[in-house]
Amino acid sequence: MASNSIPMCDLLSQYRMIQPEIEAAIARVLNSGQVINGPEVTAFEEEIAPACGSKFAVGCGSGTDAILLALAALQIGPGDEVILPPFTFFATVGSICRIGATPVFADIDPVTYNLSPEEVAKKITSRTKAIMPVHLYGQCADMAPLQDLAQSHNLHIIEDAAQSFGAEYQGRRCGGMGTIGSFSFYPSKNLGTYGDAGLCTTNSPELASRMKTLRNHGMEPKYFHKMIGWNARIDAIHAAILRVKLKYIEQWTVQRQAVAARYDEIIQNYRLNSYLDSPVAAPNRRHVWNQYVIRVADRDGLVAHLKANQIGCEIYYPLPLHLQECMQFLGHTPGDFPVSEAAARHVLALPMYPELSESLQVRVIESCSAFLRTTIRRAA
């Protein structure tokens, strides 16, 4: 990348800071001779569970595996419906389909981009087994009304917390508010490893034990298979890397919050509030700023301008799930989820990482300003 470019995310500068500890952790695993399961994984699970507000944590191969394990452990399958937002990463809906259940979309809130409890209420049927809120961009969904709905209809909540490690709702950590929580440690997530890994959290000892069996081919004891599981294990190397990163995650979260506050301030200083909408942290929530997502009328024009100026940006997500080619079998058409469709047209994530400096942020906003002031349309 050119020297004056600004990346979306900067994994190397964080690595440089903790390099000796990371390399020592990897060496410890290699020297132990135990690279699958074992004490490193157990220690990781014990250390991370409280940070997810949960009694138990089960490491696994990816965030996608975590969602699959949650659904499998709850014995959700053919004939069952799971309610989710259409505005999320594909893995949320892909996992529901892979397990044989039917995804049922409910539209999102236009301000937080998270599942709208009112829309969920309209989608509950006698076949509904679970609600799957996604805590998008680092902020929790509105859990209290969702928990009320789940309780009164006897449904499970599976929290897709892949983007929100450490986020809180009314003082409670995400991952511990539903029946099961799922996390991803994909490198670009706010807590990420150097490869693929994921995690399930729960307060139920039975579900934790079932997920541990399922991630290892449903095997208990060796070569005797109780359930049809698969290989969804976490590598010991990733557990060791994440144990190092866990010591820094609170500090990195505070830095992300400072970066977000500075963006807000710079946007105000440039008087851009009539040209773009800054992201909103809803009350009673701890936002961990996995992404800083603005909303603009001519989003695609702004993307082209930023790219031309070597400023990283990303669209999470350009096409809602109900309009994806592989979801045509559900029979949806444009207009079915207007809030998600509008979000897909107008959102844009700006560079966000703990080490992002104020001077680079000023350059990002300056560049946005130069483009937006040449257009007259207000943010949609």
Instruction: Give the span between the Cα atoms of 99 and 358, in whole angstroms.
Output: 45
Nearer to ligand PLP, 69 or 276 (CB): 69
Residue nearest to ligand PLP according to CB distances in the complex: 63
User: What is the smallest separation between the CB atom of 93 and ligand PLP, expressed in angstroms?
Assistant: 10
DSSP 155: -
Question: Closest CB to ligand PLP among 56 and 186?
Answer: 186
Q: What span, in angstroms and rounded, lies between the C-alpha atoms of 363 and 10?
A: 16
Least distance from ligand PLP to the Cβ atom of residue 137, Å: 9
Q: For residues 106 and 297, which CB has a smaller minimum distance to ligand PLP in the complex?
A: 106
- Locate tokens 């991952």: which residue? 175
Determine the Cα–Cα distance for residues 324 and 108; give it in Å rounded to an integer.
17
**Rounded Cα distance, 99 and 132, in Å:** 14
**Cross-strand pairs, 6:** 311
Per the rule left: phi > 0, alpha: psi between -120 and 50, beta: everything else, 88 is beta
Residues that bind ligand PLP (CB under 6 A): 62-64, 88-89, 91-92, 134, 160, 162-163, 184, 186, 196, 198
Q: What is the CA radius of gyration of the chain?
A: 21
Q: In the complex, what is the shortest distance from the CB of residue 66 to ligand PLP, in angstroms, rounded to a whole number?
A: 7
CA dist., res. 332 & res. 70, Å (int):
26
d(CA 294, CA 264): 10
Closest distance between ligand PLP and the C-beta of residue 259, in Å?
19
- Is residue 130 within 8 A of residue 74, CB to CB? The reply is yes
Is the torsion defined by CA of 144, 149, 152, 155 positive or negative? Answer: negative
What is the token pair recorded at 338?
């207007």
Residue 222 known to be catalytic: no
* Choice between 191 and 260, CB closer to ligand PLP: 191
The enclosing H or E element of 312 equals none
Beta-carbon count within 10 A of 301 CB: 15
**Smallest separation (angstroms) from ligand PLP to the CB of 83:** 15
Query: Please, which residues bridge with residue 202 across strands?
Result: 56
> Closer CB to ligand PLP, residue 112 or residue 367?
112
Contact 25, 241 (CB under 8 A): yes
- Pick 135 or 210: Cβ nearer ligand PLP: 135
Kindly tell me which of 147 and 184 has the beta carbon lying closer to ligand PLP.
Answer: 184
Among 189, 222, 226, 247, the active-site one is: 189
Scan for tokens 């807000």, then name that residue: 264
Contacts of 36 (CB under 8 A, 6+ apart): 233, 235, 236
What is the CB-side half-sphere exposure of residue 138 using CA atoms within 13 A?
23
Catalytic sites, residue numbers: 189
